[in-house]
Amino acid sequence: MISTDKKKLDISLIHNFLTYKSGWSNGISYEKVEKSVNNSLNFGIYFDKKLIGYARIISDFSTIAYLGDVFILKEHRGLGLSKWLMEMIMEHKELQDLRRWILLTSTAEWLYEKYGFTKLSKPEIYMEKFSPNVYGHEENIKPKTF
């Protein structure tokens, strides 16, 4: 099942994945994850009522959306769940007719390309303010098994 109901989310599992397994949010605090969930449109994938996959959207629901924190737990990968998740996100009624979608990825370009994402056509017009160590000492975070 895929749901956007925040009450169903296992924020502890999301936090553990992001801080110990993701590689992009190492060291993020539980409080920051909780705040990000509360301020996003969240998509959870559930098997036997347990969260096994997640993604969130930051959007004004009119012109732009950012897709982030997409994951499927390792033991559930290879079953087409990421494609199903992306289909549900792209078909969501509040995310239609947007001018721009944004995402950052270093691992799953093949997935996002299926849904119209491309490399930047004009990278020279994009700017960013990036603070890679904002969550703390990422090098001290050891992967956890869960």
- pLDDT tens digit at each of 146 positions of the chain: 999 999 999 999 999 999 999 988 998 999 999 999 999 999 999 999 999 999 999 999 999 999 999 999 999 999 999 999 999 999 999 999 999 999 999 888 999 999 999 999 999 999 999 888 888 755 545 555 54
The predicted pLDDT at position 144 comes to: 53
Overall CATH class of domain 2-140: alpha beta
Residue-level pLDDT at 106: 86
CB-based contacts of 97: which residues, under 8 Å, 6+ apart? none
Q: pLDDT at position 52, please?
A: 98
